[in-house]
């Protein structure tokens, strides 16, 4: 699988550099102060990317991306990032795809993507590299999207660009068929939700609670040879309001086990919807909700229900932007089939963010984050179930 | 004041304004002084508040009078935005679309008044596009969906974009009967917000015009054009 990822990257890179490609490069350096429990990257059940041992200077992200026309209406896109000097994945591809994007001859526009890319869920991630311009760490909902979901397959979008045609609405529908997303669900089940900004690279790994000595989980793998799908739609008004909804089902067969990654296929289904409003004076309001279920192994007791929502408000003041977000999340083992209590993770979080566009190519961002969560499985690590974790981060972001 | 309506600050507008100044100066030199009268106008909304950035055209009711001749106009692309945001040109005007950005753009329009497409490019590889029909043309970039601009292609003797206080003045209008048309770039319809007959007298004319009804305007957020790529 790694080999195919590398070949895909090589092809995309070759395409992108051969054409008149646009190159983006950025570096995000952090000063971190945290009182978090042992973090999920180190096999703990803390909710923060940086735990209490990570205070000081950290690499937030180093990123290079290429995008370019490769002839006709085809474009190539590849996004490569390193997340930490200590990360198991070192350097990885977060997205890489070919896109057919003809210029619209009428208000109808088609768009086809082949490769690996994000499903259109997040209303927070508005900027290139699937970055969030409001806060350093993303909501629990979209953190999970970045950790466990990637469309590795084919996606088609049909837009009706009604506003450019003198109307009041743009709208569109989008559907995709994908593979290699069978482990999706394992993290939200075993670890629960988190709020962070690390995206799992393609065919990459993520740390999780070390049951049975497995310290890392492989996230993008085809286990049962059954493709999954999602279908979504959006509406945008010329007054700055956008609504989105999506239904996802990876159609995994939970009874199939893959020994090479020591995991079952996780059958994950969820619905998600959201609304975003941009005012003409730099105000933004975002609300998103997600509710789903995941199941692995032939036994029904390994079924989890998960649910999360957040609301975010942001205001621009010239080159400064302030944002506040409140998250709620829960992930609970379905007790219907259990003799005793199952895993139950529940919590809420408050995030305050500030970004300052110092000048072109330089941005400073700061964030205060407090997560209050209760997860009964923490007792197996000798910890108390209830944890209140804080982090304060200051980021210097340089870009080409 | 609505956002993105800063006519005086855009490079293309400046160029257009300079060229029109030259054109007007030439006209003044050629025409007898008695033939030219100053015209000044101010456009307000239904409540009497000035409305900036409206597009204005004066067309003689005398169908035999020649229309304004084509000029050479520029629609630049700077910092992922079209510049100017609104361009007003007479029919037949060739418009060049240089890309000053370091990233590639793919400019298109599917408006009935002008359908065209400029394949992905940087710099200035294309011949100017001639806008040969009157109407409102919405420009987009197929790579950056937030980039949007409007070209008003007018059939008129005099035309301009009013300043941010809704004022427009022309020193040298030929006296006579005209149809004055005003469009608002943020209007939700392509129809003018005002159209009426005006008489330009030999001694000059000053008018304060008021929108007949509440204008139904879009709100355009000031989000950076490279946002919303997901």
Q: Does B125 touch chain A (CB under 8 A)?
A: no
Return mean pLDDT, chain B: 88
Q: What is the pLDDT of residue B7?
A: 41
The whole-number pLDDT of residue B189 equals 84
Could you read off the pLDDT of A354-370 as tens digits, one per residue?
999 999 899 999 999 99
Listed residue (B149, B137, B130, B175) closest to B4, CA to CA: B149
In this prediction, the answer to ipTM > 0.95 reads no
CATH number at residue A263: 2.40.160.10
Residue A82, strand partner residues: A62, A91
Which residues, other chains included, contact A77 with Cβ-Cβ below 8 Å and sequence gap of 6+? A12, A16, A65, A66, A67, A95, A96, A97, A98, A99, A115, A117
CA distance A212 to A18: 47
Q: Does B140 touch chain A (CB under 8 A)?
A: yes
Biggest distance spanned by C-alpha atoms of chain B: 61
pTM, rounded to two decimals? 0.88
B142 touches chain A (CB under 8 A): yes
Interface test with B, best of A23, A112, A162, A164 (most B CBs within 10 A): A164
Triad B221, B225, B226: Cα angle to 5°: 135
Name every residue in A having a CB less than 8 A away from some CB of B.
20, 22, 68-69, 101, 103-107, 118, 120, 122, 125-128, 130, 133, 161, 163-166, 168, 238-240, 278-280, 282, 316
The Cα of A239 is separated from the nearest Cα of chain B by a number of Å equal to 5
Pick the range with the lowest mean pLDDT from A80-89, A251-260, B10-19, B153-162: B10-19
Q: How many domains does chain B have?
A: 1
How many residue pairs from chains A and B have C-beta atoms closer than 8 A?
73
Per-residue pLDDT at B6: 41
> pLDDT confidence of A216, banded at 50, 70, 90?
low
How far apart, in whole angstroms, are the C-alpha atoms of residue A167 and residue A160? 10
Residue A144, domain extent: 2-399
Q: In CATH, what number is assigned to the domain containing residue B12?
A: 2.60.40.420
Residue B230 domain-assigned?
Answer: no
* DSSP one-letter code for B213: S
Could B117 and A278 be called an inter-chain contact, meaning their C-beta atoms sit closer than 8 Å? no
Give a yes or no: residue B29 inside a domain: yes
Which residues on chain A are in Cβ contact (under 8 Å) with B216? none
Q: Return the pLDDT at A202.
A: 93
| HSE of A210, CA atoms in CB hemisphere, 13 A | 10
Q: Which residue of B has its CA nearest to A120?
A: B230
Per-residue pLDDT for A180 more than 90? yes
pLDDT at B75 over 90: yes
Highest mean pLDDT: which range of A37-46, A80-89, A197-206, B50-59:
B50-59
A197 and A132 in contact (C-beta within 8 Å)? yes
Q: CA B176, CA A178: separation in Å to the nearest integer?
A: 69
Tell if the CB–CB gap between B189 and A166 is shorter than 8 Å. Answer: yes
Is B224 within a domain? no
What's the mean pLDDT when you consider all of chain A?
Answer: 91
Q: Which of B142, B189, B223 lies at the smallest CB-CB distance from A103? A: B142
- Give the pLDDT confidence score for residue B13 in this predicted structure: 56
Q: What is the mean pLDDT of residues B208-219?
A: 90
Number of domains, chain A: 1
Asked if residue A38 has pLDDT above 80, the reply is yes
Mean pLDDT of A321-339: 91
Kindly state the percentage of chain A with pLDDT values over 90.
76
pLDDT of residue B3: 39
Token pair listed for A135: 């806060």
Tokens of residue A50, six digits: 């940086």
pLDDT tens digits, one per residue of A300-326: 889 999 999 999 999 999 999 999 999
Phi-psi map region of A180: left, alpha, beta (phi>0 left; psi -120 to 50 alpha): left
Is residue B47 situated within a structural domain?
A: yes
CB-count burial class (<10 Å; 0-12, 13-18, 19+) for A265: buried
Say yes or no: B146 contacts chain A, CB-CB below 8 A: no
The model's confidence at residue A337, banded by pLDDT at 50, 70 and 90, is: confident
Structure tokens at B70: 């084509």
In sequence order, what E strands does chain A have? 21-34, 56-71, 74-82, 91-100, 108-117, 151-160, 169-179, 205-207, 216-218, 228-237, 241-249, 257-258, 263-264, 267-278, 283-295, 303-317, 320-333, 344-359, 362-375, 386-399
Alpha-carbon distance A206 to A39, whole Å?
A: 11
Any domain includes B215: no
pLDDT tens-digit readout, A239-248: 899 999 999 9
pLDDT at B40 over 60: yes
Using the Cβ of B104 and the Cβ atoms of chain A, whether some distance falls under 8 Å is answered with yes
Does residue B220 fall inside a structural domain? no
Banded model confidence at residue A5, pLDDT cuts 50, 70, 90: very low
Min Cα separation A238/chain B (Å): 6
Q: Among A207-221, A314-328, B4-18, name the most confident range.
A: A314-328
Domain contains B22: yes
* Domain region containing B41: 7-210
A20, A103, A278: residue with CB nearest B108: A103
Q: How far apart are CA A201 and CA A268, in angstroms?
A: 20
B28 found inside a domain: yes
CA angle A278, A282, A285 (to 5 degrees): 40
Q: In whole angstroms, how far apart are CA A261 and each of A157, A277, B83?
A: 33, 42, 54
Show the tokens assigned to A361. 């190519």
Give percent of chain B with pLDDT exceeding 70.
85
């Amino acid at each position: 699988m790694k080999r195919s990822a590398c070949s895909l990257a090589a092809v995309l890179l070759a395409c992108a550099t051969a054409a008149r490609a646009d190159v983006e490069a950025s570096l995000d350096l952090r000063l971190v102060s945290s009182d978090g429990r042992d973090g999920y990257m180190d096999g703990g059940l803390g909710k923060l990317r940086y735990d209490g041992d990570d205070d000081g200077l950290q690499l937030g992200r180093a990123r290079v991306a290429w995008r370019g026309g490769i002839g006709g209406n085809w474009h190539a896109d590849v996004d490569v990032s390193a997340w930490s000097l200590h990360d198991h994945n070192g350097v990885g591809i977060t997205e890489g795809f070919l896109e057919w994007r003809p210029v619209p001859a009428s208000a109808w526009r088609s768009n086809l993507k082949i490769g690996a890319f994000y499903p259109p869920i997040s209303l927070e991630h508005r900027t290139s590299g699937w970055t969030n311009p409001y806060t350093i760490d993303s909501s629990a909902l979209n953190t999970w999207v970045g950790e466990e979901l990637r469309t590795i397959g084919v996606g088609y979008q049909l837009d009706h660009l009604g506003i450019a045609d003198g109307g009041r609405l743009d709208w569109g529908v989008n559907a995709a068929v994908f593979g290699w997303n069978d482990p999706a669900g394992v993290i939200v089940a075993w670890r629960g939700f988190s709020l962070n900004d690390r995206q799992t690279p393609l065919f990459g790994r993520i740390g999780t609670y070390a049951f049975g000595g497995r310290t890392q989980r492989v996230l993008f793998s085809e286990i049962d040879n059954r493709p999954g799908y999602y279908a979504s739609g959006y509406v945008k008004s010329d007054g700055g309001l956008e609504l989105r909804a999506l239904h996802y089902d990876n159609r995994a067969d939970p009874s199939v086990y893959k020994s090479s990654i020591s995991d079952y296929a996780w059958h994950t289904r969820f619905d998600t919807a959201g609304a975003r409003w941009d005012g003409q004076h730099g105000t933004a309001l975002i609300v998103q909700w997600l509710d789903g279920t995941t199941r692995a192994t032939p036994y029904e007791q390994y079924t989890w229900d998960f649910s999360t929502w957040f609301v975010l408000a942001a205001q621009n003041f010239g080159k400064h932007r302030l944002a506040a977000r409140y998250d709620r999340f829960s992930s609970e083992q379905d007790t219907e089939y259990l003799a005793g209590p199952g895993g139950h993770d529940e919590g809420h979080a408050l995030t305050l963010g500030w970004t300052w566009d110092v000048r072109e190519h330089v941005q400073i961002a700061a964030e205060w984050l407090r997560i209050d969560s209760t997860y009964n499985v923490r007792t197996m690590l000798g910890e108390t179930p209830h944890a209140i974790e804080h982090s304060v981060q200051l980021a210097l972001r340089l870009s080409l | 004041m609505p956002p993105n309506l800063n006519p005086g600050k855009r490079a293309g507008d400046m160029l257009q304004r300079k060229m029109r100044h030259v054109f007007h100066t030439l006209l003044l030199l050629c025409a007898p002084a008695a033939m030219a009268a100053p015209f000044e106008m101010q456009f307000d909304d239904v409540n009497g508040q000035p409305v900036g950035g409206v597009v204005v055209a004066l067309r003689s009711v005398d169908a035999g009078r020649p229309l304004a001749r084509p000029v050479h106009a520029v629609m630049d692309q700077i910092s992922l935005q079209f510049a100017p945001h609104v361009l007003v040109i007479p029919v037949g005007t060739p418009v060049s679309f240089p890309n000053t950005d370091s990233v590639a753009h793919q400019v298109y329009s599917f408006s009935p008044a002008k359908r065209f497409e400029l394949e992905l490019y940087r710099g200035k590889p294309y011949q100017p596009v001639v806008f040969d029909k009157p109407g409102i043309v919405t420009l987009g970039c197929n790579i950056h969906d937030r980039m949007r601009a409007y070209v008003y292609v007018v059939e008129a003797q005099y035309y301009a974009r009013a300043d941010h206080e809704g004022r427009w003045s022309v020193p040298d209008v030929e006296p006579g009967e005209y149809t004055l048309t005003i469009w608002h770039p943020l209007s939700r319809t392509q129809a003018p917000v005002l159209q009426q007959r005006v008489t330009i007298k030999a001694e000059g004319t000053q008018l304060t015009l008021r929108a007949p009804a509440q204008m139904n305007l879009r709100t355009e957020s000031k989000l950076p054009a490279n946002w919303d790529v997901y």
